[in-house]
Amino acid sequence: MFKAVCYGILSSLFFSVTFILNREMSLNAGSWEWSAALRFIFMLPLLFIILLPKQSFMLPLKKVKQNPFIWLLWSTVGFGLFYAPLCYAASFAPAWLIASSWQLTIPIGVLLTPVFATKVLGKSFVQKVFATISWKILSLSCIIVFGVILLLYPEFHLNNDGIIIAVLWILVGTIAYPLGNRKIMLGTGCDLTTFQRMFGMCVASMPFWIVIVSIAMLQGKFPSNSQLMQSGIIAVCSGIIATWLLFESASMVRTNLHQIAVIESTQAGEVIFTLLGGILFFNDSMPTLISWCGIVLIIGGMLLNSFYANKLQK
């Protein structure tokens, strides 16, 4: 479990690149539609190359062909309805605030636990068992959420309508991401490797991204060279490295839905890494005293979640 948590925290470092560069693209008049779609358009050939040895890409394609509706639905939810709202929100809020609001996925991931079932094999039957909510983990996750609230408080105090719009769209992504990814991981994609599952979901989400870029082109929006380059960086750092680390960490504990929720809670590290990245590379302003209190609570919540997860395993 410790290794899985370390993978999760490391993935949050690479995911923070997404928030920082998406904000930079939005400030430079980059289309949010292209920012969203290009990440997955670039990811597709990269994943294909990774899976090219031994033709490992064939199995996920076979899975998609066998259950096209399931893959199209949950890949669109897990990739499309997760990332498009984040890119749109970048037009209204700074990177650190989006990363902070994204941590709402932590209690939502815990609350979604009863939606999923694991199969229990008996001598003559297969039974689906639905997990119950771990109120201990939920209470620990709420410490992180309270830290996020402290980070957001100074911005909401200014009655900024743009911030409210951003948070509402981010909320859509916080529900879509764990829902779509868990549905694939615990369902038809359960016997795939992490890269195979990512490739299958990337392929199945392409119709959604084609619609998104078609709408952008009809409005006369096309990506600049800078947007292409930054989207490529996001595709590698967040789309490949960070997503693999997160999926791999979740796969390590896939039989325990409570521990999967804990792995998802490690993404709170994105707040810290995004803040530091914005300050070091883009001269963002330093957080207020209240914001620093929120950061301390987020780190504390992560550590408590990890400690309790180890107790669950023993």
- Please answer whether residues 203 and 44 qualify as being in contact, where contact means their C-beta atoms are separated by less than 8 angstroms: yes
Which residue, chain included where needed, has tokens 């509706």?
Answer: 69
Q: How many CA atoms lie within 13 A of 249 on its CB side?
A: 27
Please, which residues have CB within 8 angstroms of residue 294's CB and are 6 or more apart in sequence?
A: 100, 146, 147, 148, 149, 150, 151, 287
**Total count of residues recorded for the chain:** 314
Nearest CA-CA partner of 37 in 176, 179, 206: 206
pLDDT (tens digit per residue) in 154-194: 766 665 677 788 888 999 999 998 889 888 887 877 788 88
pLDDT (tens digit per residue) in 39-54: 999 999 999 999 998 8
Domains of the chain, by residue range, sit at 2-313
pLDDT (tens digit per residue) in 198-247: 899 999 999 999 999 999 999 999 998 999 999 999 999 988 898 788 87
Percent of the chain with pLDDT over 70: 82
Residue bearing the bigger pLDDT, 144 or 118:
144
Structure tokens at 66: 């066998």
Q: Which of 74-88, 103-117, 251-265, 279-293 is most confident?
A: 74-88
Please, which residues have CB within 8 angstroms of residue 164's CB and are 6 or more apart in sequence?
A: 156
* Number of other CB atoms surrounding residue 182 within 10 Å: 23
Structure tokens at 5: 């948590």
CA distance 55 to 48: 9
Lowest-confidence pick of 124-138, 142-156, 197-211, 261-275: 124-138
DSSP per residue, 41-66: HHHHHHHHHHHTGGGTTHHHHHHHHH
- Please answer whether residues 281 and 26 qualify as being in contact, where contact means their C-beta atoms are separated by less than 8 angstroms: no
- What are the backbone angles phi and psi of residue 126, rounded to the nearest 5°? -125, 120
Structure tokens at 308: 């309790």
Please, which residues have CB within 8 angstroms of residue 156's CB and are 6 or more apart in sequence?
A: 163, 164
Q: What is the mean pLDDT of residues 250-259?
A: 66
- What are the backbone angles phi and psi of residue 203, rounded to the nearest 5°? -60, -45
